[in-house]
Amino acid sequence: MPVPPVDPDSAQGPPPVLSYPPPPAHATPAQQHEYERGRWNHFLLDDTWRRTRFNAQPNALLVEAVRHQPPGRALDVNMGEGRNALYLAQLGWQVTGIDFAEQALAFAQQRAQALGLVLTTIAQDLRTFAWDPDQWDLLVLSYADDSAHVAEVHRALKPGGLVVFENFHAEVNQAWNTPPDQQVGFATDELPALYTAAGFRILHYKEPVKAADFTRETHRLVQLVAQKC
């Protein structure tokens, strides 16, 4: 997912210039991967980006989804700097976060220590992650990436476990002028169709136009809470 352009309405005063070098021309997949890792390490910890763009609060859909859940084992997929993982740990969940941005994970670990919390972090490319079966009571995919991850989520959740999923609707490609070969987001009703077909019970699904929980830009979002039957 690209770091989205600045929405002037979401910042106080004129939008700051948030620049990052472009990827190398004709990058190999390995070079592109390294570039993305560096870019996320940079933005997730950058003071200006955090002050003007980032919502450091836990994802509101997640907060609502776990309100009445007994704590168990949670995996925060593409965790970032830990806003959701630390919230769950504070509620008593045993939380593991995976992300390839190792500096963001280190930041989360520092905050966990300061709060007296235990957080397990895995610095790894999600594409090589094992998704072992029946491991988790909760899977969090908060602006994780551009895959629905249905098969992996179904395998890795324990029966009765929940997945909380929020990301951009595919409409965002128009606003961001995304090139045809780099489209992001999810189509109307794509997620509930995929998760229902895989045997999940849909507990909540909405496509609201509202401020994105991650970067505070206003776009159409997709919000899913589903339970593995």
Task: Choose which of 66, 74, 79, 191 interacts with ligand SAM (CB under 6 A).
Answer: 79
Does the footprint of ligand SAM cover residue 144 (CB under 6 A)?
Answer: yes
Nearer to ligand SAM, 199 or 218 (CB): 218
Residue 51 CB, shortest distance to ligand SAM, in Å, is: 16
Strands of the chain, DSSP E:
73-77, 94-99, 119-123, 136-142, 157-168, 200-206, 209-211, 218-228
Does the footprint of ligand SAM cover residue 58 (CB under 6 A)?
Answer: no
Q: For the segment 169-228, give every residue that binds ligand SAM (CB under 6 A).
A: 214
Task: Choose which of 131, 143, 168, 200 interacts with ligand SAM (CB under 6 A).
Answer: 143
Does the footprint of ligand SAM cover residue 99 (CB under 6 A)?
Answer: yes
Beta-carbon neighbour count of residue 94 at 10 Å? 16
Nearer to ligand SAM, 49 or 200 (CB): 49
Rg (CA), the chain: 17
Does the footprint of ligand SAM cover residue 61 (CB under 6 A)?
Answer: no
Check: CB of residue 6 under 8 Å from CB of residue 14.
no
Q: Which stretch binds ligand SAM (CB under 6 A): 9-17, 107-115, 124-132, 188-196?
A: 124-132
Nearer to ligand SAM, 140 or 157 (CB): 140
| 3 state DSSP class of 97 | strand
Does the footprint of ligand SAM cover residue 78 (CB under 6 A)?
Answer: yes
Q: Which stretch binds ligand SAM (CB under 6 A): 6-14, 97-105, 146-154, 193-201?
A: 97-105
Residue 199 CB, shortest distance to ligand SAM, in Å, is: 25
Which residues contact ligand SAM (rule: CB under 6 A)? 1, 36, 40, 44, 59, 78-80, 83-84, 99-101, 104, 125-127, 142-145, 214
